[in-house]
Amino acid sequence: MKPQAIVFDLDGVITDTAHLHFLAWRQVADELGIVIDEEFNDSLKGISRGESLLRILRHGGKEGAFSQSEREQISARKNALYVDSLRRLTPESVLPGIRELLATLRTEQIKTGLASVSLNAPAILQALQMTSLFDFCANAALIQRSKPDPEIFLAACSGLHVNPQACIGIEDAQAGIEAINASGMRSVGIGSSLTGADLLLPTTEFLTWPCLSAFWQLDK
């Protein structure tokens, strides 16, 4: 037996845009008189833009300093900086092994999905020339609750017309692993610091179809 589908997170699994997010947030935070570093930025992985801003404001002791409207303007400013930086992405920006894995899954007739809280996901896939490699892409426009709530992964399964219990989800963020587990899917984590993943791999280079197939069979 094979999984019916494999659902991928985008940032940190398909391509590494985390540093681009950090540069945009750091510029916005600096404009607000708040200092953040890359270690703090790690705590924003898999978190929505609005929640990320709240965490930054809380970190800088300015949680109550801005109205909802002002926070939305700040978030829009960050997104504009981030979207502008996406022009640096090329097909060579795909993480090691990912394009080969997606091609193999197509051959194996296993559906592929994307579960990203980024509204920029379609633009990122286009820049990477990977749009045709995914059968369905779930993004923040389809959900009300961000990770670690399982809604984004359930939306991906719904769009793929598959049962979550018959799928594997792949993430590099702790909130994402928790979301996959809560959805009923089997979880694969990329990175050494994650906890709770059913399978933990150090980098995407280890993310191959033989590896995932053996993991699926062992789980059964």
Q: Are 109 and 132 in contact (CB under 8 A)?
A: no
Contacts of residues 25-32 at CB distance under 8 Å and 24 or more positions apart, as own/partner, are 25/52, 25/56, 25/78, 27/78, 27/81, 28/56, 28/74, 28/77, 28/78, 28/81, 29/56, 29/60, 32/56, 32/57, 32/60, 32/62, 32/74
Is 198 a known active-site residue? no
**Burial (CB count within 10 angstroms: exposed 0-12, middle 13-18, buried 19+), residue 208:** middle
Is 11 a known active-site residue? yes
Q: Which residue reads 């045709």 in tokens?
A: 132
Which of 11, 135, 149, 172 is labelled catalytic?
Answer: 11
**Cα–Cα distance measured from residue 47 to residue 69, given in angstroms and rounded to the nearest whole number:** 20
**Burial (CB count within 10 angstroms: exposed 0-12, middle 13-18, buried 19+), residue 104:** middle
Which of 9, 37, 172, 198 is labelled catalytic?
Answer: 9
Smallest CA-to-CA distance from 134 within 99, 167, 180 is with 99
Q: Are 28 and 72 in contact (CB under 8 A)?
A: no
Point out the residues that are catalytic: 9, 11
